[in-house]
Amino acid sequence: MFCTSCGRQIADGSKFCRYCGTPVASAPAPSASSGSGNTTRRIQPARRQAAPSDDIPTFTAPGNTGRQSSVNTAGQVDIPTFTAPKNDDIPTFTAPRGDDIPTFASPERAGARGKKCYYHSMVPAYSTCARCGKPVCKDCCDSYGVSAGEYEGKTLCYDCTRELVEENVAGLNKNYRTIFLRFIFFLVGIGIGVFIGVAIGVNSGSVGGGIFASVLFGAIGGSALNFFARFFGDVPSFFAMTGSIILDIIIGSIRFCISFFVYAVMAFIETIQKLTYYLSYMKETKGFAESDKESLQNMDDYMEYTRVMQNNRGVSLETLMQEGGELENNSIARMILEQGEDHTEAYMRECVTRIAENGEIIREFAA
């Protein structure tokens, strides 16, 4: 069977041409004629029918107008084209200069790698406290610690430095109380000696003798223990064995007077030294305690300042120091505002040094 439109052979019984899609007319059924009994088969030629041209799918290549992905007036999609950028539009890569090349700086202390400061949670740790092990940042390492004693040259955190200062102050107060108690007994001894001297002077009826006796016995009273220890140690030497009782008494009396006078003079000198020692010790001890307390207050204020500034980034120091602000009464913040950060950092280093020096003096200047 052949297609009547394109003339190609197709399968018998097909309704459409598989090549051009034209409908195929079916062949007429055979007819039989009556008569002599012979059947005559006549094949009628099929009429050729024109295929509807509108039903045939066609492909139209897109036009080329030079425009990118646009639809022209005929409904055709134009072929996209590529336009190379001009020289000024070509992106270029400029290598950074030596100063601009980013670099990686490894942590200075391997032991603190990956940790944050115990007191400043947003700042990387620089080291750890040698006393308690807390991680601390570079600023804490520079601001706290001691430069002498057991922890000389080691990192100390704020809390441990504060405890050492408090221990210094407690030791100073204890020594002060001990010396003060001794000073009271010292004054009582002088008072008793002066009373005895005045009594002797009144009995002698001499004003000058009374004054001399008061000073002499007052000095003995101030250093009574040393005086009596020396004097009674010489008592056996007072007795002479000359064979004459009168001569022995005379020699013994002379030795008694000489020893009494010599040891009284020594007691007078010792009493003056003790008086100077007690007064200077109490004054210096009180001064050390006040110095350590001042350093302790500065440490507290500095820690408060660093924490407040970390928690209020972008807020000016002047705003935080206004009335009702978090740093209104902070001495370190005021020092930074008036004298600058460099001066304040140097002052904090002086405080740490003073704490260490006071600690050494306390240990050496024991009561």
Does a structural domain hold residue 114? no
In whole angstroms, what is the distance from residue 77 CA to residue 68 CA?
9
User: Please, which pLDDT band fits residue 336 given cuts at 50, 70 and 90?
Assistant: very high
Compute CA distances 12 → 2, 22, 44, whole Å: 9, 15, 16
User: What residue type is assigned to position 225 of the chain?
Assistant: L
Does a structural domain hold residue 283? yes
How large is the average pLDDT for residues 43-54? 49
Does a structural domain hold residue 142? no
* 48 Cβ contact list (under 8 Å, min separation 6): 4, 5
| Contact between 77 and 71 (Cβ < 8 Å) | yes
Does a structural domain hold residue 230? yes
**pLDDT attached to residue 109:** 46
Does a structural domain hold residue 253? yes
| Contact between 159 and 144 (Cβ < 8 Å) | no
In whole angstroms, what is the distance from residue 253 CA to residue 283 CA?
44
| Contact between 144 and 161 (Cβ < 8 Å) | yes
**pLDDT attached to residue 108:** 45
Per the model's pLDDT, the better-predicted residue between 19 and 39 turns out to be 19
**pLDDT attached to residue 68:** 46
- The answer to which of 120-134, 136-150, 254-268 has the lowest mean pLDDT is 136-150
Three-class secondary structure of residue 136 per DSSP? strand
- For 131, the token pair is 């006393």
Q: Give 3-state DSSP helix, strand, coil % of the chain, rounded to 5.
A: 55, 5, 45
- For 236, the token pair is 């056996």
Beta-ladder partners of 116: 124
Does a structural domain hold residue 34? no
Does a structural domain hold residue 320? yes
In whole angstroms, what is the distance from residue 76 CA to residue 74 CA?
5
Q: Each residue of 87-119: pLDDT tens digit?
A: 666 667 676 665 565 655 444 444 445 789 999
Range of the domain at 178: 159-364
Taking Cα atoms as reference points, which of 174, 160, 264, 253 lies closest to residue 212? 264
* Mean pLDDT of all residues belonging to the chain: 77
User: What residue type is assigned to position 79 of the chain?
Assistant: I
Three-class secondary structure of residue 235 per DSSP? helix
Q: Each residue of 193-250: pLDDT tens digit?
A: 899 888 887 887 777 777 888 888 888 898 888 888 888 888 888 887 777 888 888 8
Per the model's pLDDT, the better-predicted residue between 360 and 7 turns out to be 7
Q: ∠ CA(349), CA(357), CA(275), 5° rounding?
A: 140
The helix or strand, by DSSP H or E, that contains position 127, with its residue range, turns out to be strand 127-128
Burial class (CB in 10 A: 0-12, 13-18, 19+), 88: exposed
Does a structural domain hold residue 323? yes
| Contact between 47 and 25 (Cβ < 8 Å) | yes
Q: How much is the pTM?
A: 0.53
Asked if the model's pLDDT at residue 36 lies above 50, the reply is no
Residue 47: other Cβ atoms inside 10 A = 7
Instruction: Report the number of distinct structural domains present in the chain.
Output: 1
Asked if the model's pLDDT at residue 64 lies above 70, the reply is no
Of all residues in the chain, the percent with pLDDT exceeding 90 is 19
User: Please, which pLDDT band fits residue 181 given cuts at 50, 70 and 90?
Assistant: very high
User: Please, which pLDDT band fits residue 46 given cuts at 50, 70 and 90?
Assistant: very low
User: Please, which pLDDT band fits residue 184 given cuts at 50, 70 and 90?
Assistant: very high
User: Please, which pLDDT band fits residue 37 given cuts at 50, 70 and 90?
Assistant: very low
